[in-house]
Amino acid sequence: MAFTIKPLVRGLGTLLSKSGRKGGRKPAAASAAAAAPSFSPVIIPRPQHNISRANISQGALRALRQLRDAGYDAYLVGGGVRDLLLGREPKDFDVATNAHPEQVKQVFGRNCRLIGRRFLLAHVRMGREIIEVATFRGRADADLERQSHNGMLLRDNVYGSVEEDALRRDFTVNALYYNIADFSVVDFGQGMADLQQGLLRLLGDPRLRFREDPVRMLRAVRFAAKLGFRIDPQVEAQMVEQASLLIDVPSARLYDECLKLFHGGLALETFEKLRHYHLFEVLFPDTDRCLADEEEHFPITFVSHGLTSTDSRINAGKPVTPAFLFAVLLWEPVRRLAAKHAARDQEGDIPALQRAGAEMVARLVSRVAVPRRFTLVMREIWQLQPRFDMRRGKRPQRLLSHPRFRAAYDFLLLRAQAGEVEQELADWWTRLQQQEGINPQAEADYSPDLGPDPFSDFNQDAATKPPPKRRRRRRSPANKSAKGDES
């Protein structure tokens, strides 16, 4: 949806100039404080923007009004405001207020639950909606700022004003606040102008903002792909230079970010941008090394087909699983490592894949903490691939009955599509399913608790073997003599 921006947006202030100390370099904490942006907020009245209350959820409106009626400031913030201005449907709505968490609890009573440790947030239940209400965050004192061993800034969260809260946000397009008091939009960083120009720009010095939170680099890629925006050249330069800071981000947080990156319906475009800015090599170093060594466009085509398939399912409203996504991303390093094990140790294909899969999963979770319920499924998918070459006797029927067959079959189709295996192999298994009355298009089951031990040798004889006989317990001679005495 198109919108116009009045000349008053051009009246925004500029960044404060940084001043250095004479005769030396400023400490990182003081430098961060000096480089913090300072803007004159611009108020855009209701007639000059396109946000309508009809497009805001009733739960968010009720939360805003209750805070306002209780005497507090209340704003709709973040991606919800950005998406409304772009004519998109927001995924969720977040509220920011000057009320402290305990005061928010008093306003909403039993419908409010406080969460978080370092910085308390309020989750307010409004019917079926959960509205996140956060207190304005302030700028930490320089004395409280700490650095990790590689220079990443670590700060304690403190409460502050709406101006300070806006300047803590990452991108200018996310520093737009919808005021429920007069239905205006408050612009703290030329966000409206950047929306119109399709530009993704950080608030403040990109070098310091990435040191504060390296995950902002991943968010920049995700927003650029999602919104179709250009990334500011200064931001791009710092993304390439500081990509290594992601190594110190907790692996659990990187897992969450990977799901947002690849399960947003634009996985292929996101993947290409991650590689362009050298971020993919930090998240998946083994895969990136394999991608650099292409042979007839493989394995890049395999990964591309897998991500395209994921996008198609998401855009069609079908379920997706992290297990299949990560199985695709790690398949090439697993395959190459298994080939080394098989050649060096004279192992069979399946034991070699088992070893390679276990080693590669261990490396993955040290960087991206994929839960075990998904890594188990990944390893099963990999392990079953050699079984598709075994087409004699009863082995095909045994494979068809395996609880993970559908997932492994989908994986085989991708391999054939990418040219790793012959298309004839995939077609043969498709025909077999049709002959057995199985729908090849049925949904795969990725639940982690299917069947017996997934890493046994397929347990192919378990179903045919009779259960072991129970041995009778023999009485000891002492017991016999005791019974004789009793009698």
In a domain, 468, yes or no: no
Q: Are residues 42 and 172 in the same domain?
A: yes
Q: Is the predicted pLDDT of residue 457 greater than 50, yes or no?
A: no
Q: Which has the closest alpha carbon to 190: 352, 415, 37, 416?
A: 37
Q: Are residues 3 and 113 in the same domain?
A: yes
- 173 and 301 fall within a common domain: no
Residue 217 lies in a domain: no
Confidence bin at 478 (pLDDT 50/70/90): low
Question: Is 427 noted as a catalytic residue in this protein?
Answer: no
Does 140 have pLDDT greater than 80?
no
Task: Inform me whether the pLDDT recorded for 118 exceeds 90.
Answer: no
Together in a domain, 57 and 200:
yes
Rounded to 5°, angle at Cα 314 from 126 and 312: 160
Give how many domains the chain has, as a whole number. 2
304-321: b (≥16 Cβ within 10 Å) or e: bbbbebbbebbeeeeebb
Share of the chain above pLDDT 70, in %: 78
Structural domain contains residue 221: no
Do residues 260 and 368 lie in contact, with contact meaning Cβ atoms separated by under 8 Å? no
Please check whether residue 351 lies inside any domain of the structure: yes
Q: Which of 464, 410, 449, 452 is nearest to 433 (CA)?
A: 410
**Does the pLDDT of residue 312 top 90, yes or no?**
yes
Residue at 409 is within a domain? yes
Amino acid making up residue 212: E
Domain shared by 11 and 139, yes or no: yes
Q: Which of 204, 228, 244 is the last residue of a domain?
A: 204
What confidence tens digit (pLDDT) does each residue in 63-81 have?
A: 999 999 999 999 999 999 9
Length of the chain: 487
Whether 55 and 148 map to the same domain: the answer is yes
365 located within any domain: yes
Amino acid at site 20:
G
Q: Is there a domain that residue 450 lies in? A: no
Catalytic residue among 83, 165, 170, 232: 170
- 324-355 per-position pLDDT tens digit: 999 999 999 999 999 999 888 788 889 999 99
Q: Provide the pLDDT for residue 11.
A: 36
Query: Is 83 an active-site residue?
Result: no
Same domain flag for 146 and 4:
yes
Instruction: Average the pLDDT over 128-144 and give the result.
Output: 79
Examine the pLDDT at 373 and tell me if it is beyond 60.
yes
Query: What is the reported pLDDT for 486?
Result: 44
End position of a domain, from candidates 136, 171, 204: 204
Q: Which domain holds residue 143?
A: 1-16+35-204
315/171 same-domain check: no
CATH code of the domain covering residue 395: 1.10.3090.10
Note every long-range contact of 9-18, with CB atoms under 8 Å and residues 24 or more positions apart, other chains counting: 9/42, 9/44, 9/187, 9/190, 9/192, 9/193, 10/193, 11/40, 11/42, 12/39, 12/40, 12/42, 12/187, 12/189, 12/190, 12/193, 13/38, 13/39, 13/40, 15/204, 18/205
Q: Is residue 3 within 8 Å of residue 11, measured between CB atoms? A: no
Check which CATH number belongs to the domain holding 168 and give it. 3.30.460.10
**Element housing 138 (H / E):** strand 137-138
Lowest mean pLDDT among 112-121, 190-199, 466-475: 466-475
What does the pLDDT read at residue 5? Answer: 40
Q: How confident is the model at residue 472 (pLDDT cuts 50, 70, 90)?
A: low
Catalytic, out of 92, 288, 349, 410: 92
Residue 92 annotated to the active site: yes
Asked, for residue 369, whether it belongs to a domain, the answer is yes
Residue range 126-143: average pLDDT? 82
Catalytic hit among 69, 73, 83, 94: 94
